[in-house]
Amino acid sequence: MDMTAQVTIRDARESDFEAVVALDQAGVQHEKPAYWRGIFDRYVRAGRNDRIFLVADMAGELVGFIVGEVRAWEFGSPPCGWVFALIVAPALRERGVGQMMFEEICRRLKRAGVTTVRTMVDREDKLTLSFFRSQGLRTGRYIELEKPL
């Protein structure tokens, strides 16, 4: 049975908050309700077209979410889309839910006027890296640099 036929991608609602926190905690093993409250305030409540928060809904249950935005002129880069959060319920990974969400956020970013989408992935996170590569993302021209403080 095709699981994706039962999944609807829609805009996040305030009522999704607790489910997002729980799904994130299941995926990353850290509960971050204050972080997600800030994201909900800026991406769900604010109602801006350049900030996108989508959820995957299967029969009323939240089974995934993706968050992104249009970023303009960072380090001289023309406006582009950034995806900075993607979570799929562990039991539904590798079944097309992430692809559905990624395709929808890309459609919306394109409508917002950007022609490139970017993300950042931990080099040890093989599953997420493989997913984004399967969606056509490749190493870009910018290099992330960091320094411990």
pLDDT, residue 48, reads 76
pLDDT, residue 89, reads 94
Strands (E), 12-106: 51-58, 61-71, 80-88
pLDDT, residue 2, reads 61
C-alpha to C-alpha distances, 23 to 29, 66, 106, 117, 129, nearest whole angstrom: 10, 12, 22, 24, 20
What's phi and psi for 60, nearest 5 deg?
Answer: 85, 0
Indicate yes or no: pTM above 0.85: yes
Q: Where are the domains of the chain?
A: 3-134
Q: Which CATH superfamily is domain 3-134 in?
A: Gcn5-related N-acetyltransferase (GNAT) (3.40.630.30)
Series of mean pLDDT values for 10-residue runs along the chain (149 residues): 80 96 86 93 85 96 97 87 95 93 97 95 93 95 90
Q: Where are the alpha helices (DSSP H) in 41-118?
A: 97-111
pLDDT, residue 3, reads 64
